[in-house]
Structure 1
Amino acid sequence: MTLTTPVLIFPAISLLLLAYTNRFHGLASVVRALHANYKTSADPIYLKQIHNLRYRIKLIRDMQFFGVLSILICTVCMLLLFFGYDTAGKILFGLSLLTMITSLVLSLIEIQMSVGALDHQLKDLENGCEE
C-alpha cells in the first residue's frame, strides 16, 4: 500500500463532515423553533418531537465523532506509511475505514429517523385537514 491510498479518502471525509455539520445546523434551527412554539403552547405532541430531536442530535454528534476519528486515524496512517511502517499503516488504514463505516451507519439511522419524523408530521397534517 502506498501513501496515495489513504490520501484518496480525505476529500470524501471532508465533504461528509460538512454534510454532517449542515444536518446539525438544520436540526438546531428546528429545535429553536420548537422551543419557541412550546413556550407559547405547551402541546404534548412537542414532547414526542423533543425526544426524537434529542436522539437525532446525539446520533449526529456520534456521526461527527467517528468521522473526525476516521480522518485522524487516516492521518496517522499516512505518517506511518511515510516513515516506512507499512504494516502499522495498513492496520490503521483498516481502522480508519471501520470508523468511517460506523459514521455512515449512524448517518443512515439518523436519515431514517428524519424521514419518520417528517412522515409523522405529514400524517398529522392530513388528519387535521380531514377534520
Structure 2
Amino acid sequence: MTLTTPALLFPAISLLLLAYTNRFLVLAQLIRELNEREGEQVRKLVVRQIANLKKRIVLIRSMQAYGVLSFLLCTLSMFFLFLQWELAGQLSFAASLVALLLSLALSLYEIQISCDAINIELESMQDRKEH
C-alpha cells in the first residue's frame, strides 16, 4: 500500500462532510421556521415533526462524527505510511473505511427519516383538503 491510497479518500470525505453540513444547516433553518410559524400553539402534526427533527439532528451529528473520524484515521494512515509503518498504516486505513461505512449507513437511515417527514407533510395537506 502506498501513501497515495488513503489520499484518494480525501476529496470524497471532504465532499461528504460538506453535504452533511448542508443537511444540518437546512434542518436548523427548518426548525427555526417551524418555531416562528407555530409560536405557542403547537399542532398535533407539528409534534410528530418535532420528534422526527430531533432524531434527524442526532443522526446528522453522528454522521458528521464518523465522517471526521474517517478523515482523521485516513490522515493517520498516511502519516504511518510516510514513516514506513506499513501495518499501522493499513490498519488505520481499514478503520477509516469502517468509519466511513458507518457514516454512510447513518446517512441512508437519515434519508429514510427525511422521507417520513415529507409523508407527514403530505398527510397534513391531505387533511386540509378533506376539511
TM beyond 0.5 = yes
Q: CA deviation at 1:49?
A: 1.0
Tell me, yes or no, if structure 1 residue 76 matches structure 2 residue 81. Answer: no
- What TM-score results when the alignment is normalised by the length of structure 1? 0.96
- Give the secondary structure class of the aligned counterpart of 1:124: helix
Deviations 1:27-63 (A, max 9, x none): 0011001111221532232221111101100000000
Counterpart in 2 of 1:6?
A: 6
Equivalent residue runs for 1:15-54 within 5 Å: 15-54=15-54
- Give the secondary structure class of the aligned counterpart of 1:2: coil
User: Percent identity over the alignment?
Assistant: 49
> In 2, distance between residues paired with 1:109 and 1:21?
16
Counterpart in 1 of 2:130?
A: 130
Amino acid at match of 2:71: I
Amino acid at match of 1:39: G
Structure 2 stretches lacking a partner, 5+ long: none
- What TM-score results when the alignment is normalised by the length of structure 2? 0.96
Amino acid at match of 2:20: Y
Structure 1 stretches lacking a partner, 5+ long: none
Q: Which runs of 4+ in 1 moved over 6 A?
A: none
- Give the secondary structure class of the aligned counterpart of 2:2: coil
8 Å CA contact retained: 2:3, 2:82: yes
